[in-house]
Structure 1
Amino acid sequence: MNTMWIENEPCALRAWAEGRMIYLELTDGRIVGFPADRFKILRAAPEEKLKKVSVEVNGYALRWEELDEDLTVQGVVAGRFQLPLPEQAA
């Protein structure tokens, strides 16, 4: 029996920011979110600039033009962040 495996990379339909969280709606129906503070450039950006996120490259990338920052949707969904989670206050 032959089995054909097709890689189905995550693709974003839309992206938005609420507070310091970035959210993506994916083509498979999932909504995923991540803290902007997990990326160096986004961590330094004010909330009004975070809200100017756009979906590019047919849903495979996120772009912040004013910040000159690009992230891949696949990297975000896989949890490949630049910075660790901040330590939680006890």
Structure 2
Amino acid sequence: MRPVKAWCTKDEVHVTLADGRTISAPLWWYPFLSGLDEQGLNEIELMYEGIWWTKVDEGISVKSMFLGVKAPGAKAPDKAA
């Protein structure tokens, strides 16, 4: 489950693994990223089993993405009617 590439879009974080799979999770799962602009969101360091944002000194493990584990305080955005 080693990440080889990671990037963010405006709504999701994506990780490509060494075995070729790509996984994604909604950005709202990680409230600690909410204050970052597009450049900050994409300044990601690859770790052996996860990814890290030095600007906020926070990261997520690939395993937590697979298991659907959200960061504390994560709240789904309100859906417009």
Between structure 1 and structure 2, the one with the greater Rg is 1
2:57 is matched with which residue? 68
Paired with 1:40 and 1:26, the residues of 2 have a C-alpha distance of 23
1:17 is matched with which residue? 8
The answer to whether 1:48 aligns with 2:66 is no
* SS of equivalent residue, structure 1 residue 76: helix
State, as a whole percentage, how many aligned pairs show the same letter. 23
Q: Which has the higher contact order (CA 8 A, sep 6+)?
A: 2
Q: RMSD over aligned Cα, in angstroms?
A: 1.6
Size of the aligned set, in residue pairs, is 79
Scaled by the length of structure 1, the TM-score of the pair is 0.74
5+ long unaligned stretches in structure 1: 1-9
Q: Higher helix proportion, which one? A: 1
Structure 1 residue runs of 4+, over 3 Å off?
A: none
